[in-house]
Chain A
Amino acid sequence: KAGVTQTPRYLIKTRGQQVTLSCSPISGHRSVSWYQQTPGQGLQFLFEYFSETQRNKGNFPGRFSGRQFSNSRSEMNVSTLELGDSALYLCASSSGQGAPDTQYFGPGTRLTVL
């Protein structure tokens, strides 16, 4: 089975711009979770989508949004970028059901905001 893929792998934007990141989960997985990772804050949970519905949400401002398509692919959007949004953005896929529901990570998108 192919793993989790994320595009693009690297992105450079300037303050005020917006960005869209994409994540394709493992085949058959219906849950996609997004995380932000910075050296100071560790892995911070953004949100989780399951069957096209946001099921869980972390404590991030509304500038961070996401969606999931019928094929389980997910996109994350950040509007009005700030310098502090520079981070590694990781998505993780899982079946979304049962326990343990193991998450598998993609390679991440490294976003730099100038």
Chain B
Amino acid sequence: QKEVEQNSGPLSVPEGAIASLNCTYSDRGSQSFFWYRQYSGKSPELIMFIYSNGDKEDGRFTAQLNKASQYVSLLIRDSQPSDSATYLCAVNAPDGQNFVFGPGTRLSVLP
């Protein structure tokens, strides 16, 4: 059974702080990892993906992957109230044919 786990939150951070969102996965053979943002009542939108160990930066967002620990995280620098949303971690199975989503972490950025 492939599983992806996230803290449900809510995670509250003050405006301008760094928000750290974490995700663990059970299938050691997983290859690709995705972060989606979902505003209330809207559909998920892709923030970024990562598939190599280490860090990947895109603007204010940094994804970190540690395959040995089966752990992926998303850092949001200079958090803004507009970043308040639910963040979904998704894992692509080794065969590339199956996505598994975590339950999401609700982030609240306080002005």
Shortest distance from the beta carbon of A36 to any chain B beta carbon, whole Å = 11
Q: Say whether A101 contacts B96, CB under 8 Å.
A: yes
Does B25 belong to the interface (CB within 8 Å)? no
Interface size on A, residues (CB 8 A): 25
Taking A43-B88, A108-B43 as contacts, is the C-beta distance between A103 and B31 under 8 angstroms?
A: no
Does A72 belong to the interface (CB within 8 Å)? no
Q: Which residue of B lies closest to A43 (CB)?
A: B101
Q: Which residues of the partner chain B approach A45 to less than 8 Å between Cβ atoms?
A: 98-101
A105 to B42, CA, bound (A): 10
Q: Say whether A99 contacts B43, CB under 8 Å.
A: no
* SS class, residues of chain A in contact with chain B: strand
Shortest distance from the beta carbon of A38 to any chain B beta carbon, whole Å = 11
Q: Say whether A33 contacts B99, CB under 8 Å.
A: yes
Contact of B97 (CB < 8 Å), options: A42, A48, A90, A107? A48
Q: Which residue of A lies closest to B45 (CB)?
A: A105
A-binding residues in B (CB < 8 A):
31-32, 34, 36, 42-46, 49, 51, 88, 90, 92, 96-104
A20 to B79, CA, bound (A): 40
> Which of B88, B98, B104 has the largest number of chain A CB atoms within 10 A?
B98
Shortest distance from the beta carbon of A71 to any chain B beta carbon, whole Å = 21
A106 to B98, CA, bound (A): 18
Q: Which residues of the partner chain B approach A100 to less than 8 Å between Cβ atoms?
A: 31-32, 34, 49, 51, 92
What are 7 A-B pairs with beta-carbon distances under 8 A? A45-B101, A55-B97, A92-B99, A101-B92, A102-B49, A105-B36, A106-B43
Taking A42-B104, A103-B99 as contacts, is the C-beta distance between A90 and B31 under 8 angstroms?
A: no
Contact of A42 (CB < 8 Å), options: B31, B42, B99, B103? B103
A16 to B22, CA, bound (A): 41
Q: Which residues of the partner chain B approach A17 to less than 8 Å between Cβ atoms?
A: none
